[in-house]
Homo-oligomer: A and B are copies of this chain.
Amino acid sequence: MTYYQQHQADFLEGLKTFLRIPSISTLSEHKPDIRRAAEFAVNELRAAGMSVAELIEGKGNPLVYAEWLGAPGKPTILFYGHYDVQPPDPLDEWKSPPFEPEVRGDNIYARGACDDKGQVYIQIKAVEGLLKTTGKLPVNVKFLLEGEEETGGEHIEAYVKTKPPRLQADAAVVCDTEMFAPEMPTICVGLRGMVYYELLVQGADHDLHSGVYGGAAPNPMQAVAEIICALKDRDGHILVPGFYDRVVPPSAKEREAWARLPFDEREYTEKEMGARELVGEPGVPLLERVWGRPTVEVHGIRGGFTGEGAKTVIPARAVAKISTRLVAAQRVDESIAQMQAAVKAACPRGVTAELRVLSCGEPSLTNPDNPFIRAAAEALKETFGQETVYIRSGGSIPIVGVFDRNLGIPSVMMGFGLPDDNLHAPNEKFHLPNFYRGIEAIARYLEILGR
């Protein structure tokens, strides 16, 4: 019986302690909990045997840094994760309280169980096992954990951009993604980028009565609708000139692999999404639509009257929240210029429209032939007893692009979540068999890299 098998009960208790800290980064009243969670991680890393484990203080929430550099000549791996969590609302939909972790069946339920405390804890416990049983690690290992992932990760990005020597590494390992299906070890090799915008449309300088002025007054709500419809057609095809120019289609090999993935479109549509029907570009397979194609989505429109009953107002102003997802090899800056030109061209008479950028992150795509990814696939296959599959994600993990551009290293996205883990939703859970196997898989990964 290995160290990892012997200590499963300890790992679970430790994870519960971590999960009890309500380190919600979007709510300022939880600042003390943020610090408690960061200190918890430092203490765990120190107890695991890392030679350095400390907080990096700066603007924003502290970063957690740790290192063990006792393997000269061997590669250096930089583990990334985050100790902050999403708010738990709506609270009344949780079956057990979000910060009182509860095991039901094979799962542990708590906010952060999967995203991302459970996966951060996997990384720490993998290293602990190797250090406790062999006194050393097969490769050099660094940790960089942040406490602002759920609020945009602004400060870790600023820190990495200073290219601190202590972050030098050969590859990053990001455990913040999911497996394609239970029992199916998965590596994510592509992420969509994102630009989040506010579209500000101004008509008259004050709200107008729609009876008195309707027929003559510009209506910013109508204008927002017209601009939105000018960005994407009813088939989901983006109309912004040039937007698809740099899009690299998936290779024939990748398309074939995606087609072989076990996927029940009806279950995905009706159970997972709760929708009647899928939409999007006709003729493009579903996984390619969400992994390999850019999108434009409207998230909400502020302005005018939205309360109960009737108010006949032509609002002076409307603000739409809009985001685009980008895929390799689109470029954030170029896409912003394209969007701004398209909004300008679509802006109707009588109003002004301004498209402001709130945040952005580049898309990323890694070649699976990279040796750090090949080693991960091997470790996962050994641990799970199944062939590793390569997928992409429709979401965005901006740190991957930040590591790439500033540290010049690829990110190995080895995640142990499942599609039904309720990330950002009530009843977030983590599948405990994946938690235990994840620890073993990461340890095995370091061993393979050290050969």
Q: Which of B295, B321, B351, B396 contacts A215 (CB 8 A)?
A: B295
Contact between B310 and A214 (Cβ–Cβ < 8 Å)? no
Complex CA–CA separation, A205 to B273 (angstroms): 7
Q: Which of A55-63, A180-188, A274-282 contacts B (4 or more CB under 8 A)?
A: A274-282
- Interface residue count on the A side (C-beta < 8 Å): 81
Contact between B310 and A359 (Cβ–Cβ < 8 Å)? yes
Query: Chain copies in the assembly?
Result: 2
Q: Tell me, yes or no, whether A206 is within 8 Å of chain B by CB.
A: yes
Contact between B290 and A213 (Cβ–Cβ < 8 Å)? yes
Contact between B212 and A298 (Cβ–Cβ < 8 Å)? no
Distance in angstroms from A250 CB to nearest chain B CB is: 13
* Per-residue contact bits, chain A 202-245, to B (CB 8 Å; 1 contact, 0 not): 01111011111111111101101110110010101000000000
B residues near A290, Cβ cutoff 8 Å? 212-216
Q: Tell me, yes or no, whether A166 is within 8 Å of chain B by CB.
A: no
B residues near A216, Cβ cutoff 8 Å? 273, 278-280, 286, 289-290
Complex CA–CA separation, A280 to B219 (angstroms): 10
B residues near A349, Cβ cutoff 8 Å? 234, 277, 279
Which residue of chain B has the shortest Cβ distance to A419 in the bound complex?
A: B212
Interface residues of A (CB under 8 A from B): 151-152, 192, 194, 196, 203-206, 208-219, 221-222, 224-226, 228-229, 232, 234, 236, 273-281, 286, 289-290, 293, 295, 297-306, 309-316, 319, 321, 323, 325, 348-352, 358-359, 393-396, 423-425
Provide 27 A-B residue pairs closer than 8 Å at the C-beta atoms, listed in order of the A residue.
Answer: A152-B310, A196-B310, A196-B312, A209-B424, A210-B323, A212-B395, A213-B273, A214-B290, A215-B289, A216-B273, A216-B278, A216-B289, A216-B290, A217-B278, A218-B275, A221-B298, A221-B299, A221-B301, A222-B228, A222-B232, A225-B226, A278-B350, A279-B349, A300-B306, A301-B306, A305-B321, A310-B323
